[in-house]
Amino acid sequence: MEAGASAARRRARPELALRGAGLTYLGIMVVLPIVAMAWQAARPGPAAFWAAITEPYAWHALKLTLTTAFVMVFVGAVTGTATAWVLVRYEFPGRGLVNALIDLPFAVPTVVTGLMLVALYGPDSVLGAIMARGGWKVIYDQPGIILALLFVTYPFVIRSVQPVLLAMDRAEEEAAATLGAGPFTTFLRVTLPTLWPSILTGSALAFSRALGEYGSVVMVAGNQPLLTRTAPIHIFGEIESGNRDGALAVSAVLLAASLLVLVILHALQRRGEERDAS
């Protein structure tokens, strides 16, 4: 008994060391900075905190970040689902190439993304000049922010829906079609309910990413207070001008919003798992 227990303990020692090393690194790298920031953000007290985020510039920046992220999510969910659908279901020339290039936004630096969009749609480009004549301004204005967000979050919904479509049993769709449902009705009543969770997952990840996006947005939209200054741009401005409490308050709101989205996603995932188990 004694010997067995000590042997087990001896065997457990490397495992404990491995776990200790991993958790220590995670604690120092991730947990400590987040706790330190939350601590510092809360220090001025609730009244000062509230004043810092309701100050007109901060408030506008937060509102702009939320609105642009919502518009992006809506457009991204529709186009992303359609793209995944076309890639998995249909045969067309260049399909493999398109599939490989979907992840490009994950590989391209955000600053380069911004420059790409400026080069194509900016005021000095052919397209930009044509659009300007029609009274349209994309770059250095709010539509540019949405465009940049759509670029950087392009793969999320596609890559979330794609494996589900791939694994989907098509018997139900075929049954619906046999029973006389048109392709649109079949999609709406049979396919969409299956895809819904994955569309939601991809959209939540995209939304969370969009809330924090900086590099591409700042290149595309510039830093115009009350027009194109999103929350991350505002935070950077406050850091630069030495208003750390203001920067911390807006940061805390941004982080909380992003975490909330991911926690809700996590909770929905758990519920899905429990439902599957029962």
Partner 1 sequence: MLPESAPAAPPEKMEIVPLSRAGELPAKGRETASTWGRRLLIAAVLVWFAALILVPGAALVRQAFANGWEPLAAALAEPEVKRAFVMSVGLALIATVVNTVFGIVMALVLVRQRFFGRTLIDGIVDLPFAVSPIVAGLMLIVLYGPESPIGGWLEARGFQVIYALPGMVLATMFVTVPFVVRELSPILRELGEEYEQAAYTLGAGRWRTFRSVTLPSIRWGVAYGVTLTVARCLGEFGAVLVVSGNVVGRTQTATLYIADGIDSFHPEGAYAASLVLAAASFLLLVGMDLLRHRLEGAREVEP
Would you list the DSSP string of 40-80?
HHHTT-HHHHHHHHHSHHHHHHHHHHHHHHHHHHHHHHHHH
The C-alpha angle with vertex 130 and arms to 126 and 133, in degrees rounded to 5, equals 140
CA torsion angle for 220, 221, 223, 226 (degrees, to 10)? -170
Structure letter (DSSP) for residue 107: H
Tell the smallest beta-carbon distance from residue 118 to partner 1 (Å): 8
Figure out which of the listed residues 178, 242, 276, 278 binds partner 1, where binding follows CB under 8 A: 276
145 is a contact residue toward partner 1 (CB under 8 A)? no
Residue from 139, 191, 206, 232 that binds partner 1 (CB under 8 A)? 232
- Nearest 5°: the CA angle 34, 59, 216 is 65
Q: Does 123 bind partner 1 (CB under 8 A)?
A: no
Instruction: Tell me which stretch binds partner 1 (CB under 8 A): 53-61, 134-142, 171-179, 267-275.
Output: 267-275
> Coil, strand or helix: which one is 270?
helix
The single residue among 106, 129, 185, 224 that binds partner 1, judged by CB under 8 A, is 106
Residue whose CB is less far from partner 1, 102 or 181: 102
Encoding tokens for residue 51? 């004043």
Can you tell me which of 150, 176, 206, 249 binds partner 1, judged by CB under 8 A? 150
Using rule CB under 8 A, residue 88 touches partner 1: yes
- Quick one: which H or E segment has residue 36? helix 32-42
Q: According to the binding rule CB under 8 A, does residue 31 interact with partner 1?
A: yes
Residue 209 and residue 153 in contact, taking contact as beta carbons nearer than 8 Å: yes
Between 30 and 226, CB nearer to partner 1? 30
Would you count residue 131 as binding partner 1 (CB under 8 A)?
no
**Residue 115 Cβ vs partner 1, minimum distance, rounded to whole Å:** 5
Q: Does 140 bind partner 1 (CB under 8 A)?
A: no
Decide if residue 15 touches partner 1 (CB under 8 A). yes
